[in-house]
Amino acid sequence: MDKMIIRRMEYYGYHGVFEEERKLGQRFYVDLTLELDLRKAGQNDDLAETVNYAEVHELVKGIVEQKSFKLIEALAEHIASSVLDTYTMVDALTVCVTKPHPPFDIHFEGVTVELHRSRK
């Protein structure tokens, strides 16, 4: 299966278990790997035969920046279902949501949740 990979979309959202996170907000990164047939788009050079990644960016932006979830797992699940519902030509996808600076008194680069969903 062909893939369209959209890397490191950056948003500011209000997600987290702690009230401060949902009040103050923080940066989140989203990576998407969309599995779909890209043959016709490649052969015909026609945007109508593929997924417009600028539109995907705006869809994900609306979810990350306008909704609030306690868990990034829930955020990732919502992104996955919304993309599959909106873009019927996508057969499956992988969603990675990264919280780069979790509010813990330990030092690590961040935490990422990755999930794979398909129509089957």
* 99 included as an active-site residue: yes
* Contacts of residue 86, Cβ cutoff 8 Å, sequence gap at least 6: 59
- 5 by Cβ neighbours in 10 Å (0-12 / 13-18 / 19+) ranks as exposed
Measured CA to CA, the distance from residue 54 to residue 33 in angstroms comes to 14
Question: Which among 23, 67, 70, 99 is annotated as catalytic?
Answer: 99
Q: Which residues are catalytic?
A: 99
